Amino acid sequence: MLSIPELARGLEDLDPARYGVIVETLDGCHRGLLLPRIQGIESVEAQWFAVHSKAGIKPGTPVRVERFTVTRFGKD
């Protein structure tokens, strides 16, 4: 189950082991979501790059950033 997303200021509010991330361009045309605890994504920078790539957003494009937690039933 996903928690309600909350606004994040940027990289300093992210942690790929704890939070999933949603990025959306300010015009709303591109949006991407990445769950937390993805194998191979160990750093905030890797998470940031992956979610931008998934959304088709070029690095440096202004985005709205949200974070969320995930409860995995039977595993947490």
- 30 located within any domain: yes
Q: Write down the pTM of the prediction.
A: 0.90
- 75 located within any domain: no
pLDDT band at 74 (very low <50, low <70, confident <90, very high): confident
18-48 pLDDT per residue, tens: 999 999 999 999 999 999 999 999 999 999 9
The Cα 64–Cα 30 span in angstroms is 11
- 61 located within any domain: yes
CB neighbours of 35 closer than 8 A, spacing ≥ 6?
Answer: 20, 70
- 73 located within any domain: no
Q: How far is CA 65 from each of CA 1, 2, 74, 75, rounded to the nearest angstrom?
A: 20, 16, 29, 27
Q: Which domain holds residue 16?
A: 6-68
- 60 located within any domain: yes
Q: What 3-state class would DSSP assign to 5?
A: coil
Based on the structure, what is the number of domains in the chain? 1
- 74 located within any domain: no
CATH number at 44 reads 3.30.1490.150
51-73 pLDDT per residue, tens: 999 999 998 999 999 999 999 88
